[in-house]
Structure 1
Amino acid sequence: MVRLTIFAILLLSLVSVCLSEDDSDEAVVTEEIDDVVPDEEIVYVSPTPSGNTYLAEHFDDEGRFKQKWIVSEAKKDDMDEEISKYEGMWAIEPPQQDGLKGDQGLVLKSKAKHSAISARLDRPFVFADKPFIVQYEVAFQEGQDCGGAYLKLLSQSKQSSDLRKFNDKTPYTIMFGPDKCGTDVKLHFIFRHKNPNNGTMSEKHCKKPKDRVEEPYKDKRPHLYTLHLRPDNSFTVFLDQKIINEGNLLEDFTPPVNPPAEIEDPSDKKPEDWDEREKIADPEAKKPDDWDEDAPPMIPDESAVKPDGWLEDEPEMIPDPNAEKPDDWDTDMDGEWEAPLISNPACEGAPGCGPWKRPMINNPAHKGKWRPPLIDNPNYKGKWKPRRIPNPDFYEDLQPFKMTPISGLGFELWSMSNMILFDNIIVTDDPAVADKWAAETFSLKIRKLDKDSEGVVMRLVHYTNEHPWLWAVYVIVIGLPIVMLIVFCCGSTPEKAEMKRAADAKKTDAITPDYEDEDVVDDSRPLHKTSPASKSDLELPHNAASNKADGEHVSDGEAEHIDEEEDEDDDDDEPPPLQESIAEGAGDAPRSPKKVRPRKE
């Protein structure tokens, strides 16, 4: 054990020397382990967009925000003066929960008010041969019961030229983002399509996402919403950079972009003799003569007999004799007071009380209303439908991606929750630009929140995965002492072995060897006890033993007689174990009587 301990100390010393001679990262292993995981600071710098962008807003510069963003001064049409104004308050603030230093966002401060704010793109986006990508963050910092947080991408038009008049009637090309009221949870993707025949605009609503999107309304964390729209009419919707919806503009919207080529003739009417009945009553069927439509379904059981002991004169319920009229009982208001009814005590041991009636059973004669059986209708012509005619409003737009150009974007909302934070809006035609923007903003926020919420153990695991060489340190610093402790506690030593043998020798049921040859006995040890003999000592013939006990001398003849009797016994029996008869150090435990053969001279 001493050698093992010395070896472990030398091994740890060697490891320490090796680590101290390694590179600068590994030289601080001891300090890192003591501190569990170094407190890695996540540094945030306001992002600068790279590549082709049409708008990139991080809201970190409040002065720039006031120059670019315009709060609506409009009013809603067809509403009372008191509730028609867009008077919701907006502010630039850092997030409420574990935000990055220097990071700020656009916060909706008001609830139960109409709120609108917008900004122009750096240049209009024209839907031609490049994809359209919009991405932004939303954090429901106080949760959400009812209200939206969607973004409107405003159409390039005369109505949207003055953003101070931005309201619900301002034309938009795309509406995208979350919306919730009660249990109705949506992630909108709506685009307005222009009819090529008459120029009218109609909304096309995307199918529902394949995944659930309720979590962003409850966890109070930032979430990233991204829409990719491509020239081949395909689209993809991302939530926190994971696909939750995808499809095609021509196939996955309601109503569809293109109307049907044929429609039902609105002027066509069903002929009066058109018979749509598949089955009719058999006109030749007749009701059987024995069919009784008036027989009741239930009749009294005539075979029933009133049970013995039935108390017909006793009611089942009687007024409570112990009840008393309340002191505040008003006869004029409450009527005559009557004691409440209780079960009749006289009926407790009887089979029943009150008038006895026969139980009801099913009436075998009851058949109900007779109806003739149904047969196939010989005049059946099928379900009538109007004839189909060519659709006068038919058109075929195979490129709905080519929407109305976008010149601005904004939030036009009504919400029952306040403190909704919007951040890091970007409009681009390059997916890589949007991904880089998210990596410099949203991803840092999530890392910060996860770091603040995770425990020490998880932080240690993550840090070790980034520095795999630490596993060797853990094995040496933690595993080796455990092995040494197990060896020390459970290992065998010479002292322990000697103690075990001594303990085994004290057991009363231990097996001792038998000696058949009496010559192997050590003559230096006495054959007989010097203490007074007992029944467990040597046994002699009765007469000789008595004489010896009386102190008399045994004659030679008597001794020979004793020897002859002893020899006869020895012919039949095996020699007794001499160790049991001569051992004096075996304790005071009683021994079974043994016959010992006396020595002959």
Structure 2
Amino acid sequence: MKFTLAAFTAILAPAAATVYFKEQFNDDGWKERWTVPSDWKPASELGDWAHTAGEFNGGSSDDRGIQTSQDARFYGLSAPLEKPFASADKKDLVIQYSVKHEQKIDCGGAYIKLLPGGKGFDSAKFGGDTPYAVMFGPDICGSSNKRTHVILHSNTKDENLLIKKNVNTEDNQLSHLYTLVIRPDNTFEVFIDNKSVRSGKLEDEFDFLLPKEIKDPEKSKPKDWVDEKRIPDPDDVKPEGYDDIPSEIPDPDASKPDDWDDEDDGEWEPPMIDNPDYKGPWKPKMIDNPDYKGPWEHPMIPNPEYIYDSEMYAVCKEECTHVGFELWQVKSGTIFDDIIVTDSLEEAQQFAEETFFKKKDKEKELFDDAKKKKEEEEKAAREAEMEDMEDEEDFMGGDEF
């Protein structure tokens, strides 16, 4: 077979990226592309989505996102992918979007879900009980409970598996970019602001597989095994009269008050105080156990039920057809923007350069300027208040008319 230069170049060139979904929310048509669920919660419990450029916008005035706008509400909406993603194609799965907590979030979710359509996805009923393939993004409640969720669906177990170790998240009032990559070689990687913050094998970070080894069911700790490191000293004897020592004694420094009347007040008794000679219940001293053998370790054997799953990555075994947000927020104000689902990390990074990173520095500059201005105004207000107080003190201390 004879190869032309063009054919050889085509073989070496990487396959063109496929973009399954892209959303920037910059036009009013976003409402036609996204569906707010009508049968998930009562209308009174669902919050409205605002379409806004937000504060400290580092982009143009028409560069907008969608924002949670009412406190203590559930939020939901979904949109179809432009093309279904199927794990059977053995391509990387890349999910990326930006999050901005303008409200200085105290408790609320900000994660995105990738949703399978094989079970008849119904956008009107989309909610917390809807099956999902991936749940990814920030979830914050309080100062100590902060994480970037990475939850993947296991088809073998038919369970949603949470990553074992917490992935940190950002909770300030600036925009941050969250990227998840799941690869057909059963590895994954999480990026925040295009910096890798967690990566590894799916089998190491999630409970996709049964343990390779189990405790030998035929073995148990021998009855004569001694694992007590310290024991009471058999030669230590309780001192004679130890139990006769009271825990409290009358206060020797107390005396009957001069105005005490035995007939009216009864016979006077001094108050009780802790007895300094009382050492508490007697216990023999502890010594090293001469028969100590150390902690018993259960022998391990290969798990006969262990099977390696080569398709842990296949979260979209049933084609994934939608993305969605399904959230609860105590204090609203989170803005979502610049979503992409693709099979190429390079494609996602290029999209980030055109969107998130294009406005990131300007946003920070505007935020810092506004923060400085607010601090100056608060300082001026405090100084004015102090001057008013001093003027009032001078007036009150002046000559009387």
**What is the CA–CA distance in structure 2 between the aligned matches of 1:368 and 1:59, rounded to whole Å?**
73
> Pairwise mapping of residues 12-411 of structure 1 onto structure 2 (< 5 A)?
51-63=17-29, 65-75=30-40, 87-98=46-57, 99-127=59-87, 128-160=89-121, 162-183=122-143, 184-195=145-156, 200-209=158-167, 213-214=169-170, 217-219=171-173, 221-253=174-206, 256-264=207-215, 276-281=227-232, 285=235, 287=237, 291-294=240-243, 296=245, 369=282, 371=284, 374=287, 376=289, 378=291, 391=303, 393-404=305-316, 405-411=319-325
Amino acid at match of 2:339: I
**What is the CA–CA distance in structure 2 between the aligned matches of 1:453 and 1:272, rounded to whole Å?**
69
CA-CA distance at 1:276 after TM superposition: 4.9
Amino acid at match of 1:239: I
Listed one character per residue, the Cα deviations across residues 509-561 of structure 1 (whole Å, up to 9, x for unaligned) are xxxxxxxxxxxxxxxxxxxxxxxxxxxxxxxxxxxxxxxxxxxxxxxxxxxxx
Q: Which residue of 2 aligns with 1:430?
A: 344
**What is the CA–CA distance in structure 2 between the aligned matches of 1:146 and 1:269, rounded to whole Å?**
47
Listed one character per residue, the Cα deviations across residues 126-158 of structure 1 (whole Å, up to 9, x for unaligned) are 224322111111111222111011000112321
Listed one character per residue, the Cα deviations across residues 72-108 of structure 1 (whole Å, up to 9, x for unaligned) are 11236xxxxx69x762212322223335222121222
Number of matched residues? Answer: 339
SS at match of 2:97: strand
Amino acid at match of 1:180: I
Greater relative contact order structure (CA < 8 Å, 6+ sep): 2
Q: Which structure's CA Rg is the greater one?
A: 1
**What is the CA–CA distance in structure 2 between the aligned matches of 1:69 and 1:269, rounded to whole Å?**
59
Question: 2:56, 2:367 within 8 Å by CA — same for their partners in 1?
Answer: no
Q: Which residue of 1 aligns with 2:358?
A: 444
Amino acid at match of 1:207: K
TM-score, structure 1 length as denominator? Answer: 0.48
**What is the CA–CA distance in structure 2 between the aligned matches of 1:398 and 1:390, rounded to whole Å?**
19
SS at match of 1:88: coil
TM-score, structure 2 length as denominator? Answer: 0.70
More strand by share: 2
CA-CA distance at 1:280 after TM superposition: 4.6
Q: Using a 3 Å threshold, how does the CA distance of structure 1 residues 294 and 273 change in structure 2: closer, same or farther?
A: same
**What is the CA–CA distance in structure 2 between the aligned matches of 1:115 and 1:401, rounded to whole Å?**
29
Question: 2:138, 2:149 within 8 Å by CA — same for their partners in 1?
Answer: yes
Amino acid at match of 1:138: V
* Seq. identity, %: 34
Unmatched runs of 5 consecutive residues or more in structure 2: 1-15, 261-273, 370-401
Cα root mean square deviation, aligned:
4.2
Amino acid at match of 2:100: A
**What is the CA–CA distance in structure 2 between the aligned matches of 1:189 and 1:375, rounded to whole Å?**
48
Question: 2:115, 2:133 within 8 Å by CA — same for their partners in 1?
Answer: yes
**What is the CA–CA distance in structure 2 between the aligned matches of 1:373 and 1:206, rounded to whole Å?**
41
**What is the CA–CA distance in structure 1 between the aligned matches of 2:23 and 2:107, rounded to whole Å?**
27
> Pairwise mapping of residues 496-515 of structure 1 onto structure 2 (< 5 A)?
none
Amino acid at match of 2:141: C
SS at match of 2:124: helix
Amino acid at match of 1:226: T
Amino acid at match of 1:95: G
CA-CA distance at 1:296 after TM superposition: 4.4
> Pairwise mapping of residues 536-555 of structure 1 onto structure 2 (< 5 A)?
none
Q: Which residue of 1 aligns with 2:270?
A: none
More helix by share: 1
**What is the CA–CA distance in structure 2 between the aligned matches of 1:244 and 1:388, rounded to whole Å?**
34
Question: 2:182, 2:189 within 8 Å by CA — same for their partners in 1?
Answer: yes
Question: 2:26, 2:62 within 8 Å by CA — same for their partners in 1?
Answer: yes
